[in-house]
C-alpha cells in the first residue's frame, strides 16, 4: 500500500509541477526564426536567444504555465530591424507554429510580402492581440483573420493592404479596437460590422472607403481622408461615450450637434469657410474642468493606435518642443480650427469652453477684435491666433490665464500695448508678436507712448455676450463641427522607442 501511495505522489508531482523549460517544439520554432533572421541580415538583436537557455527567459518572450507546463503565449518583436533593412515575411513564418500564442506584435519591422500571411494566421486561433502595423504587407487582408475569434485588438495601420475588408471579420465578436488606417482599402464599409457590439475604437482613416459608418457606442472614431462626404450620420448625437472624432478632409456641411462629450475637436487643414459658430458652447466635454472628466480606459487605448507617447505629452510648437502641464491624455481638451478659410469675428462664446488646454484658430481670415472672454479659459496653456486679420488691442483679460505658456498673435493688424501681469510677463518672444500694426510693450522691447490708451476699454469689451455673437452666424451653414483624433497638436507627439514599451499599457488591458 505504501508503494502505491508513493507511486501516486510521484505521478501527482509530475503532473502538477511546472516544467522548468518551455516546450522544445516552441523553442525550436523561435530558434528557426532567429536563424532565418540572422541569415537575411547578418545580425540578431536579441542576445539571450540561444539553444542552451530556457526560451521563457528570453527577452521579448512571455510564457504561462497552464496545466502544469510552460507555454509561450506572448511575443513582442516590434522594431527589431536595424536601419532600412527590409525583411521578407517568410523569415517570420516559424513564429506562427506556436499555436499557444495569445499576443503577437510584429510591428515596425518593414516586413514585405504577405502571400503566406493568411495560412500562417490560420494557426493562431487563440490570439487576442495582433499588431502588424507599420510594415509593408500588400494584397487583400486575409480572410483567415476571421478564424481568430478571440481577437480583441487588431492593428493593421500603415501597410499596403488593398481591396475589400473581408466579410470574415464579422466573426470577431470579441473585437474591441480595429485600426485599418493608412492602407489602400476601397469598398463600401460593410454595414454588418455594426454587429461587432464590443468595438469602442475604430480607425478607417486614409483609405478609399464609401458608405456610412455603422452604429457603435465608441470612445474614438477616425475616418479622415477616407473619401467620405455629406452630413454627419444621425446616430452621432447618440454617441454619448464618444471622446474623439476626426473627420478631417470632409469638406461638406456638418450639422451642429449638442450634448456630445467630445474633448478633442480637430478640423484643421480643410477648406472650411464661413464663420466660427457661436454654438460651440454646446461642446459639453470642453466646458467641464479637467477634474470633472470621467475616465474611460478605452479612450486612452484608442490613442495608442496613433503612436502617441502618453506619459509625457510634448507639443511641437513653432519648431520648438514645449511641454504641457498635464501628463494624462484624459485631462486634455483641444480645439483646432487652423489652416482653413474661416472668416468673421471670433465668437465670445468660445470663452465658455473652460476645459480647453489648447486653442488654435491660426491661418484663417478672421477679423475684428480678440474677445475679452478668452481670458475666462482658466485652463488654457496654448493660444494661437496668428495669421489672421485681427485688429484692435490684445485684451488685458489674457493676463488672468495662470497656465498660459504660449501665445502667438503674429501676422495680424493688432496695435497698442501688450498686456502685462502674471503669465503675460513671460510671453517675451518677439516672433509671436511680429508683423502687426503697432504693438508695443516690454515683451518686445518696444516702448509705448506715455499715457497710451487702449484701443477700446476693457469694460466695454467685457460686455460681449454669446447672444450678440451668435446672431452673426444665423443663416450661415458653416461646414463643420464634430471631428477629431490622432492628437494633432500643431506638431506631433513623440513616439516612444522601443515600440514594445510604448504599447505596454495597451497590451495590459487585453
Could you report the per-residue pLDDT of 228-267, keeping only the tens digit for each? 443 344 445 445 555 555 554 433 333 344 444 455 566 6
Q: Could you give the CA distance from residue 491 to residue 489 in angstroms, rounded to a whole number?
A: 5
**pLDDT confidence of 325, banded at 50, 70, 90?**
very low
pLDDT value at residue 336: 78
Q: Could you give the CA distance from residue 301 to residue 299 in angstroms, rounded to a whole number?
A: 5
pLDDT value at residue 245: 55
pLDDT above 70 as % of the chain: 60
Q: What is the mean pLDDT of the chain?
A: 72
- Range among 111-115, 124-128, 272-276 with highest mean pLDDT value: 124-128
pLDDT value at residue 21: 75
pLDDT value at residue 481: 36
Q: Which architecture does CATH list for 228-510?
A: Alpha-Beta Horseshoe (3.80)
**pLDDT confidence of 313, banded at 50, 70, 90?**
very low
Q: Could you give the CA distance from residue 427 to residue 476 in angstroms, rounded to a whole number?
A: 36
pLDDT value at residue 247: 52
By CB neighbour count within 10 A (0-12 exposed, 13-18 middle, 19+ buried), where does 492 fall? Answer: middle
Q: Is the model's pLDDT at 326 over the cut of 80?
A: no
Q: Could you give the CA distance from residue 300 to residue 32 in angstroms, rounded to a whole number?
A: 37
Average pLDDT over residues 76-103: 92
In which residue ranges of the chain is CATH 3.80.10.10 found?
23-199, 228-510
Of 42-56, 209-223, 480-494, give the lowest mean pLDDT range: 480-494
Average pLDDT over residues 203-227: 59
In 3D space, the residue among 58, 66, 142 whose CA is nearest the CA of residue 95 turns out to be 58
In tens, the pLDDT along 224-233 reads 555 444 334 4
CATH number, domain 23-199, options 3.80.10.10, 3.40.50.720, 3.40.710.10, 3.30.390.10: 3.80.10.10
**pLDDT confidence of 375, banded at 50, 70, 90?**
very high
pLDDT value at residue 159: 94
pLDDT value at residue 351: 87
pLDDT value at residue 279: 57
Q: Is the model's pLDDT at 491 over the cut of 50?
A: no
**Residues forming beta bridges with residue 407, ordered by sequence position:** 383
Cell matching residue 92: 517570420
Please report where in the chains the cell 459608418 appears, as a residue.
213
Average pLDDT over residues 98-127: 92
By CB neighbour count within 10 A (0-12 exposed, 13-18 middle, 19+ buried), where does 333 fall? Answer: buried
Average pLDDT over residues 345-363: 88
Report yes or no: 110 and 137 within 8 Å, Cβ to Cβ.
Answer: no
Q: Could you give the CA distance from residue 103 to residue 62 in angstroms, rounded to a whole number?
A: 9
**pLDDT confidence of 273, banded at 50, 70, 90?**
low
Q: Is the model's pLDDT at 183 over the cut of 60?
A: yes
Q: Could you give the CA distance from residue 243 to residue 205 in angstroms, rounded to a whole number?
A: 17
Q: Is the model's pLDDT at 510 over the cut of 60?
A: no
Of 21-25, 61-65, 239-243, give the lowest mean pLDDT range: 239-243
Of 341-345, 375-379, 506-510, give the lowest mean pLDDT range: 506-510
Q: Could you give the CA distance from residue 444 to residue 182 in angstroms, rounded to a whole number?
A: 44
Beta-carbon-side half-sphere exposure of residue 75 (alpha carbons within 13 Å): 29
Q: Is the model's pLDDT at 385 over the cut of 70?
A: yes
Q: Is the model's pLDDT at 452 over the cut of 80?
A: no
In tens, the pLDDT along 115-126 reads 889 999 989 999
Average pLDDT over residues 44-70: 88
pLDDT value at residue 416: 93
**pLDDT confidence of 36, banded at 50, 70, 90?**
very high
pLDDT value at residue 270: 54
In 3D space, the residue among 79, 75, 88 whose CA is nearest the CA of residue 29 turns out to be 75
Cell matching residue 406: 504660449
Query: Per the confidence metrics, is the pTM higher than 0.95?
Result: no
Residues 6+ apart with CB under 8 A from 472: 275, 278, 344, 345, 347
Residue with the larger pLDDT of the pair 465 and 150:
150
238-241-247 Cα angle (round to 5): 75
pLDDT value at residue 1: 54
Q: Is the model's pLDDT at 330 over the cut of 70?
A: no
Amino acid at each position: 500500500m505504501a508503494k502505491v501511495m508513493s507511486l501516486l505522489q510521484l505521478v501527482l508531482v509530475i503532473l502538477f509541477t511546472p516544467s522548468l523549460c518551455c516546450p522544445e517544439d516552441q523553442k525550436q520554432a523561435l530558434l528557426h526564426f532567429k536563424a532565418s533572421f540572422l541569415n537575411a541580415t547578418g545580425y540578431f538583436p536579441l542576445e539571450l536567444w540561444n539553444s542552451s537557455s530556457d526560451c521563457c527567459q528570453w527577452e521579448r518572450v512571455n510564457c504561462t504555465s497552464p496545466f502544469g507546463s510552460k507555454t509561450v503565449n506572448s511575443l513582442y518583436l516590434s522594431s527589431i530591424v536595424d536601419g532600412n533593412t527590409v525583411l521578407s515575411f517568410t523569415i517570420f513564418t516559424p513564429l506562427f507554429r506556436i499555436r499557444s500564442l495569445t499576443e503577437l506584435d510584429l510591428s515596425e519591422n518593414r516586413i514585405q510580402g504577405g502571400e503566406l500571411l493568411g495560412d500562417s494566421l490560420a494557426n493562431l486561433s487563440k490570439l487576442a492581440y495582433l499588431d502588424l502595423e507599420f510594415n509593408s504587407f500588400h494584397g487583400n487582408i486575409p480572410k483567415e483573420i476571421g478564424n481568430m475569434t478571440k481577437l480583441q485588438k487588431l492593428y493593421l495601420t500603415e501597410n499596403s493592404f488593398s481591396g475589400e475588408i473581408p466579410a470574415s471579420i464579422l466573426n470577431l465578436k470579441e473585437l474591441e479596437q480595429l485600426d485599418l488606417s493608412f492602407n489602400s482599402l476601397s469598398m463600401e464599409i460593410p454595414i454588418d460590422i455594426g454587429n461587432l457590439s464590443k468595438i469602442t475604437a475604430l480607425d478607417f482613416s486614409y483609405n478609399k472607403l464609401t458608405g456610412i459608418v455603422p452604429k457603435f457606442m465608441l470612445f474614438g472614431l477616425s475616418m479622415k481622408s477616407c473619401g467620405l462626404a455629406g452630413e454627419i450620420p444621425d446616430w452621432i448625437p447618440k454617441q454619448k461615450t464618444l471622446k474623439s472624432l476626426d473627420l478631417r478632409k470632409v469638406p461638406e456641411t456638418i450639422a451642429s450637434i449638442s450634448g456630445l462629450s467630445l474633448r478633442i475637436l480637430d478640423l484643421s487643414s480643410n477648406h472650411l469657410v464661413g464663420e466660427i459658430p457661436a454654438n460651440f458652447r454646446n461642446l459639453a466635454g470642453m466646458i467641464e474642468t479637467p477634474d470633472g472628466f470621467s475616465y474611460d480606459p478605452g479612450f486612452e487605448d484608442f490613442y495608442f493606435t496613433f503612436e502617441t507617447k502618453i506619459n509625457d505629452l510634448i507639443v511641437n510648437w513653432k519648431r520648438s518642443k514645449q511641454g504641457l502641464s498635464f501628463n494624462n491624455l484624459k485631462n486634455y481638451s483641444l480645439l483646432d480650427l487652423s489652416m482653413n478659410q474661416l472668416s468673421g469675428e471670433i465668437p465670445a462664446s468660445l470663452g465658455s469652453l473652460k476645459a480647453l488646454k489648447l486653442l488654435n484658430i491660426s491661418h484663417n481670415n478672421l477679423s475684428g477684435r480678440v474677445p475679452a472672454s478668452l481670458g475666462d479659459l482658466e485652463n488654457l496653456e496654448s493660444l494661437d491666433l496668428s495669421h489672421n486679420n485681427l485688429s484692435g488691442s490684445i485684451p488685458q483679460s489674457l493676463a488672468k490665464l495662470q497656465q498660459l505658456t504660449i501665445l502667438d498673435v503674429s501676422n495680424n493688424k493688432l496695435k497698442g500695448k501688450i498686456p502685462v501681469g502674471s503669465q503675460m510677463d513671460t510671453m517675451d518672444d518677439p516672433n509671436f508678436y511680429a508683423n502687426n500694426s503697432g504693438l508695443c510693450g516690454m515683451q518686445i522691447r518696444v516702448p509705448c507712448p506715455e499715457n497710451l490708451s487702449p484701443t477700446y476699454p476693457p469694460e466695454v469689451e467685457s460686455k460681449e455676450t454669446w447672444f450678440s455673437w451668435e446672431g452673426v452666424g444665423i443663416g450661415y451653414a458653416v461646414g463643420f463641427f464634430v471631428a477629431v483624433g490622432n492628437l494633432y497638436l500643431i506638431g506631433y507627439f513623440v513616439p516612444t522607442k522601443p515600440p514594445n514599451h510604448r504599447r505596454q499599457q495597451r497590451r495590459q488591458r487585453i
